Amino acid sequence: MSVDSAYPKDASDLLSDLHLLLDKQRQAYAAHPYPPLEQRQQWLKSLRQLLSDEREVLIDAISQDFSHRSADETLFAELMPSLHGIDYTLKHLKRWMKPSARSVDVMFQPASAHVMYQPLGVIGIIVPWNYPLYLAMGPLIGALAAGNRVMLKLSEFTPATGRLLKDLLGRIFPEDCVAVVLGEADVAVAFSGLAFDHLLFTGSTQVGKLVMRAAAEHLTPVTLELGGKSAAIVSADVPLKDAAQRIAWGKSLNAGQTCIAPDYVLVPENRVQGFVDAYRQVMHSFYPTLIDNPDYTAIINERQLARLEHLKTDAVAKGARLIPLYEQGQGRRMAHCLVLDVNDDMQVMQEEIFGPLLPVVAYRDLEQALAYITERPRPLALYYFGYNKVEQQRVLQNSHSGGVCINETLLHVAVDDLPFGGVGPSGMGRYHGHEGFLTFSHAKSVLAKQRVNSSLAIYPPYGRKLGRLVQKLFIR
């Protein structure tokens, strides 16, 4: 049985199919509720081999969905972190699975205590369209490492990648272990309402609220990886070329369609023009032209392209000044553009941009820049550019965001030993590396005693000598 929108079904049939699939995975989990280390390692090794062997067809499928996606971007931003994530997990999994010994107070002795990391059961993962491979593999790696069964809902906006992953994962995993679900928005709605043991969603804040509301029906725990308006701060003395180069890379990767892409940049008032000039120069060194340039990725579909064009139109109508960095794009390869003289009335400063538009906000001093960020919803990422370590600490201590890069963009997400997750409107929960294993495990407390029952001293009837001695010794 599979759920695939290639065959239209009414709502009752769709829900029935999803429940059957969930039940199949629940039964498989019940039969093997604690997969041994060797089984989990075999799952991960098989996944790694598959990704390595099929890299070319994966690159082609993703590019087909985008109309054009740079092959190197798919290699660097999707395949490489997926492979490295598996390698890191394989290296540390044995240690992660070991029970964690805990201390027992003398009044409870003789006894031992430990925390056992138990698989949760069946994990639901809702995958977005912008990185359809990595944002499927990242949580899948953590869920399998923790010993779970997994259902993946792929985005309807990446149909070629979805069909391919369904076929490829089906070659190495039975459907009661890992299953790929395809379909339109109605399938996603039904999927988010299933009684999973944990549900991870990556996407917009608006949709994240709907997912959390649906999960609440079954009290399903959720991890929400959302986004928001991630800020970059250019300090008063950092070389502008250094900052512009790293910001431009973070903003142009995948044409800005990245949840942790810099969404706007704060620049000192007297450095705005210098930053614009440095940014333009850097972008043209990356992409001398957009016409027939294999390195520049397209916008995912016409709907998203129209949304981005509307953001530009709205900004200009409300007083913004556009600085196009290219004369024209090509097809859905949208030309990169800086947006100056912005204000809060503009939609480009209200919504997550998710494209190659970068607003530039002038500021007087670092205190004003930090106030500007803290007055707004907490973002998924924050980027600071400056080599003064005192100012670096000031930024870290006086701001909230899911993660921070100092003099870098994006790459914290690829560091396997760092947790990844948002805060407040940019999400809740975290995964990657050890945190991913913990997110998809139940940390079960275990207190063990044997024949000697030291608790007799606190059993009724109360008032006995031994009970009074315990009170005297331990209640002070």
Catalytic residue among 73, 225, 352, 391: 225
291-335 tens-digit pLDDT = 889 999 999 999 999 999 999 999 999 999 999 999 877 889 999
User: What is the separation, in whole angstroms, between the first and last Cα of the chain?
Assistant: 63
**CA gyration radius, the chain:** 26
pTM here?
0.94
Residue 431 · residue 439 · CB < 8 Å:
yes
Using CA atoms of 22, 23, 27, 32 in order, give the dihedral in degrees to the nearest 10. 10
DSSP strand pairing (198-202 vs 222-225) = parallel
Q: Please give the pLDDT value at position 6.
A: 42
Q: Please give the pLDDT value at position 8.
A: 47
Three-class SS state of 443: strand
Give dist(CA 173, CA 42) in Å, integer: 11
Q: Please give the pLDDT value at position 10.
A: 64
Reference 269, options 363, 386, 360, 340; nearest CA is 363
Q: Please give the pLDDT value at position 4.
A: 59
Query: Residue 248: CB partners within 8 Å, gap ≥ 6?
Result: 279, 282, 283, 286
Average pLDDT value over all residues in the chain = 94
6-46 tens-digit pLDDT = 444 566 777 889 999 999 999 999 999 999 999 999 999 99
Delineate the domains of the chain, giving CATH numbers in brackets: 11-226+428-443 (3.40.605.10), 231-417 (3.40.309.10)
393-405 tens-digit pLDDT = 999 999 999 999 9
**Is the pLDDT confidence value at 5 over 90?**
no
| Residue 442 dihedral angles phi and psi, to the nearest 5° | -100, 120
Q: Please give the pLDDT value at position 474.
A: 81
225 given a catalytic annotation: yes
152-197 tens-digit pLDDT = 999 999 999 999 999 999 999 999 999 999 999 999 999 999 999 9
Query: Residue 321: CB partners within 8 Å, gap ≥ 6?
Result: 339, 340, 341
Alpha helices in 98-204 (DSSP H): 134-145, 159-172, 185-192
Give dist(CA 233, CA 264) in Å, integer: 9
Q: Please give the pLDDT value at position 195.
A: 96
Residue type, 316: V
CA angle 23, 29, 34 (to 5 degrees): 165
Q: Please give the pLDDT value at position 11.
A: 62
Average pLDDT over residues 250-267: 97
